[in-house]
Amino acid sequence: MDNVELALKEATTIDGAIGAALVDYGSGMALGTVGGGKDLDLAVAAAGNTDVVRAKVRTMEMLGLKDDIEDILITLGGQYHLIRLLKGRESKGFFLYLALDRSRANLAMARHQLKKIEAALEV
């Protein structure tokens, strides 16, 4: 679990980060959260984004696409919500969720940094 906390703390150092979570999309439960606050309830975001991931996985299956989801981006007026599915054998079924303030974030750099965090994360 220390590895999870460390990864989430590192995610919140990304420019513009509002909050981060590691989520089990089988259950919709956040295994860890950092940041958030009154404007962003990370437990609610974890559950809601689980539905997004499940819908995309189901759609890919229906389309017969034999590919992996790297990340899912939701762009709001003032925020980016980045969902990165973990790919390791032991980490299938989990995703990293990162909420960013759009005015302070560099989306390309955030995606790059989240990919590095994912590579070092052991669930």
DSSP 8-state code for residue 26: T
Which DSSP string corresponds to 41-93? -HHHHHHHHHHHHHHHHHHHHHHT------EEEEE-SSEEEEEEE--SGGGTT
pTM: 0.92
- Per-residue pLDDT of the chain (123 residues), as tens digits, is 578 999 999 999 999 999 999 999 989 999 999 998 888 999 999 999 999 999 999 999 999 999 989 999 999 999 999 999 998 656 678 999 999 999 999 999 999 999 999 988 887
Residue (of 43, 47, 28) closest to 93 by Cα position: 28
31 contacts 94 by C-beta, under 8 angstroms: yes
Q: How far apart are CA 41 and CA 122, in angstroms?
A: 25
